[in-house]
A and B are shown apart, each in its own frame.
Chain A
């Protein structure tokens, strides 16, 4: 055991000394992004073209990213928050205005993904990938039509459902099902949603945000409410899976890129942003992570099959994203924790 443990100590030290020597020689960029969201190919291509070394650190939730950024310590040059976290960051002056002159490829973005409520003037953020939260069905096991949340959460599907382990998501589905605003997490609305959430939670077999496709692939569950990218991968894997936007109202999300005010490599961050906006690079991202690509020029490079994937490119009528709700997030959290405990 000892030699192995020793190696564990020596290796990071080696890596550290390497990193120091590299830092002295070349420029670098500290990227803080979702795990499994930026292809290694894309990062390597950037380093090859520009000589800028990219340190890619990951997180599993927008909240985790914000916590680590606020603690300080590491100075990140580029972060990748979801829309509502970006909104909170803009309101609290944590993001630096972008220099449009350095983003020549920004015109590639489709207009419907610009000027959204989290950044109405598009001053601080650039959309990276977008998606929806929707219903995925294993059509070999579920024969009846499933159109909305009420169809998913039925007693006959008890213990056959997977949903993302995201308390705000779950509460928002109940709110829209009741015809309420998904962003109005007032105590009156939460009280109205409570019985519905309680009923739904009893039916769910798995809560998983990281890889909700796994129990569907493994045959442990037959339907669920998941991120569209996960559903798109399931459909790529097997045509028996289908994706449906809930008729009560689908929730789209935008993951954006932005430069924190603490960034020390602002020029390199702009270069990387502009590089990601290039159609050929953006296409590589879509190849690996089949979410909705907001880059219209990149979409023209995708195959007919990619564009026909109903989870990647669903027909969306309204673009109604999450807004920053401040302390109300804690109330949603308590509600779901409470109801999960009660069963």
Chain B
């Protein structure tokens, strides 16, 4: 290592000052809440649902109960399916946007972002209007004589997946686009010159170079999709509880058991850390 880089590694006062807002933010909104969760998770609830501090492992034993493990498993399954569908739909879209001319690139990106200008709940209600029994989609299909009776679309697992994919697709497209846009077209030409067909060039050149964006997209879809509870309630009819529903119920719902909710949330967070760590390690190995 050169002496110059060693010097650069020691942050001066200015660097600390510049970092201070970020560090404070992390302290106040990441470290402190996590510490509270840890403290709560070993406590108990009293008659009124207040937290009675103490040290008990009972909450963690309850997390390991088959009921909640099944809820965990189902949430992971729904989130994984959402991530796969988002990747399959999002990758080609991101790639095409990145390859488009500059004028079109901006327009297409705007189209991806426009839904964010409307409240998420309103967009979910719009889906209810489309999918309900007397809704727009059934109306159209009946009018076209494609079906004889209305299809059962809303309040099904498929409706939940539609809602989740719709909500998180942009979070897959944008990071992949970020990677794909930076990819130098000369590299593809070089691959062709060296005898690669289009498919091999894509697999050997494009895919490895856009992997960081792809992994970022996977994280940005998978992690929030696991905890989502509004879509499962509104579009799934709250028939099958997801981990987000169960945790919400412990804090503001009927169960009023904050310590148990904290234990669930903590295990849940550890799960995220594990997924992140695995992805990170794979990404590093790929780069090396």
Stretch at the interface among B27-35, B177-185, B245-253, B265-273: B245-253
Complex partner residue of A64 from B70, B71, B253, CB under 8 angstroms: B253
- Report the separation of the CA atoms of residues A168 and B253 in the bound assembly, to the nearest whole angstrom: 11
- Report the separation of the CA atoms of residues A120 and B262 in the bound assembly, to the nearest whole angstrom: 37
Name the B residues within 8 Å of A334 (CB-CB): 67, 255
Query: Who on chain A is nearest to B150 by CB?
Result: A219
Contact call B256/A63, Cβ cutoff below 8 A: yes
Stretch at the interface among B88-96, B140-148, B165-173, B234-242: B234-242
Contact call B246/A337, Cβ cutoff below 8 A: yes
- Judge if A4 is at the interface, Cβ distance under 8 Å: yes
Complex partner residue of B47 from A92, A162, A218, A337, CB under 8 angstroms: A92
Contact call A218/B132, Cβ cutoff below 8 A: yes
Q: Closest approach, in angstroms, between the C-beta of B144 and any C-beta of chain A? A: 20
- Report the separation of the CA atoms of residues A293 and B280 in the bound assembly, to the nearest whole angstrom: 61
Known: A218-B134, A219-B133, A338-B67. A207 touches B253 (CB 8 A): no
- Report the separation of the CA atoms of residues A60 and B71 in the bound assembly, to the nearest whole angstrom: 24
Contact call A329/B48, Cβ cutoff below 8 A: no
- Write out, one digit per residue, whether chain B residues 117-161 have a CB within 8 A of any chain A CB (1) or not (0): 100000000001000111100000000000000101011000000
Contact call A340/B49, Cβ cutoff below 8 A: no
Contact call B47/A326, Cβ cutoff below 8 A: yes
- Judge if A61 is at the interface, Cβ distance under 8 Å: yes
Contact call A219/B240, Cβ cutoff below 8 A: no
- Report the separation of the CA atoms of residues A343 and B237 in the bound assembly, to the nearest whole angstrom: 14
Query: Who on chain B is nearest to A60 by CB?
Result: B252
Name the A residues within 8 Å of B135 (CB-CB): 218
Contact call B253/A206, Cβ cutoff below 8 A: no
Contact call A219/B134, Cβ cutoff below 8 A: yes
- Judge if B105 is at the interface, Cβ distance under 8 Å: no
Task: Report whether over half of chain B's contact residues are helix, strand or loop; otherwise say mixed.
Answer: loop
- Report the separation of the CA atoms of residues A318 and B107 in the bound assembly, to the nearest whole angstrom: 66
Contact call B47/A67, Cβ cutoff below 8 A: no
Interface size of A in residues (CB-CB distance below 8 Å): 39
Q: Closest approach, in angstroms, between the C-beta of A127 and any C-beta of chain B? A: 22
- Judge if A38 is at the interface, Cβ distance under 8 Å: no
Which residues of A159-190 are within 8 A (CB) of B?
159, 162, 165-168
Name the A residues within 8 Å of B49 (CB-CB): 63, 66-67, 70
Contact call A206/B155, Cβ cutoff below 8 A: yes
Query: Who on chain B is nearest to A202 by CB?
Result: B239
Which residues of B207-241 are within 8 A (CB) of A?
233, 237-241
- Report the separation of the CA atoms of residues A337 and B249 in the bound assembly, to the nearest whole angstrom: 10
Contact call A207/B238, Cβ cutoff below 8 A: yes
Contact call A88/B252, Cβ cutoff below 8 A: no
Contact call B237/A206, Cβ cutoff below 8 A: yes
Contact call A330/B257, Cβ cutoff below 8 A: yes
- Judge if B99 is at the interface, Cβ distance under 8 Å: no
- Judge if B50 is at the interface, Cβ distance under 8 Å: yes
Complex partner residue of A205 from B45, B74, B237, CB under 8 angstroms: B237
Complex partner residue of A1 from B50, B68, B113, CB under 8 angstroms: B113
Query: Who on chain B is nearest to A168 by CB?
Result: B254
Name the B residues within 8 Å of A252 (CB-CB): none
Query: Who on chain B is nearest to A324 by CB?
Result: B47
Query: Who on chain B is nearest to A334 by CB?
Result: B67
Name the A residues within 8 Å of B50 (CB-CB): 70
- Report the separation of the CA atoms of residues A333 and B261 in the bound assembly, to the nearest whole angstrom: 13
- Report the separation of the CA atoms of residues A49 and B183 in the bound assembly, to the nearest whole angstrom: 68
Name the A residues within 8 Å of B71 (CB-CB): 337, 341
- Write out, one digit per residue, whether chain A residues 261-288 have a CB within 8 A of any chain B CB (1) or not (0): 0000000000000000000000000000
- Write out, one digit per residue, whether chain A residues 101-139 have a CB within 8 A of any chain B CB (1) or not (0): 000000000000000000000000000000000000000
- Report the separation of the CA atoms of residues A333 and B250 in the bound assembly, to the nearest whole angstrom: 10
Contact call B237/A208, Cβ cutoff below 8 A: yes
- Report the separation of the CA atoms of residues A337 and B247 in the bound assembly, to the nearest whole angstrom: 12
- Judge if A78 is at the interface, Cβ distance under 8 Å: no
Contact call A166/B134, Cβ cutoff below 8 A: no
Complex partner residue of A341 from B150, B154, B240, B253, CB under 8 angstroms: B240
Contact call B240/A343, Cβ cutoff below 8 A: yes
- Report the separation of the CA atoms of residues A343 and B260 in the bound assembly, to the nearest whole angstrom: 24
Known: A63-B254, A165-B238. A88 touches B133 (CB 8 A): no
- Judge if A11 is at the interface, Cβ distance under 8 Å: no
Query: Who on chain B is nearest to A4 by CB?
Result: B117
Q: Closest approach, in angstroms, between the C-beta of B36 and any C-beta of chain A? A: 12
Q: Closest approach, in angstroms, between the C-beta of B259 and any C-beta of chain A? A: 11
- Report the separation of the CA atoms of residues A342 and B253 in the bound assembly, to the nearest whole angstrom: 21
Contact call B253/A63, Cβ cutoff below 8 A: yes
Known: A208-B237, A329-B255, A340-B239. A88 touches B48 (CB 8 A): yes
Contact call A61/B252, Cβ cutoff below 8 A: yes
Contact call A206/B255, Cβ cutoff below 8 A: no
Query: Who on chain B is nearest to A220 by CB?
Result: B133
- 13 more A-B residue pairs beyond the given contacts A70-B48, A337-B249, with a C-beta to C-beta distance below 8 A: A61-B252, A63-B253, A66-B256, A67-B49, A67-B251, A67-B252, A166-B254, A204-B239, A205-B155, A218-B128, A220-B133, A329-B255, A340-B239
Can you show 30 pairs from A to B with CB atoms below 8 A apart?
A: A4-B117, A60-B252, A61-B254, A64-B253, A66-B48, A66-B49, A159-B152, A162-B237, A166-B254, A168-B254, A205-B237, A206-B238, A215-B132, A218-B128, A218-B154, A219-B134, A327-B45, A329-B256, A330-B257, A330-B260, A332-B254, A333-B249, A333-B253, A333-B255, A334-B67, A337-B68, A337-B241, A340-B241, A341-B70, A343-B239
B residues contacting A by CB (< 8 A) are 45, 47-50, 67-68, 70-71, 74, 113, 116-117, 128, 132-135, 150, 152, 154-155, 233, 237-241, 246, 249, 251-258, 260
A residues contacting B by CB (< 8 A) are 1, 4, 60-61, 63-64, 66-67, 70, 88, 92, 159, 162, 165-168, 204-208, 215, 218-220, 326-327, 329-330, 332-334, 337-338, 340-343
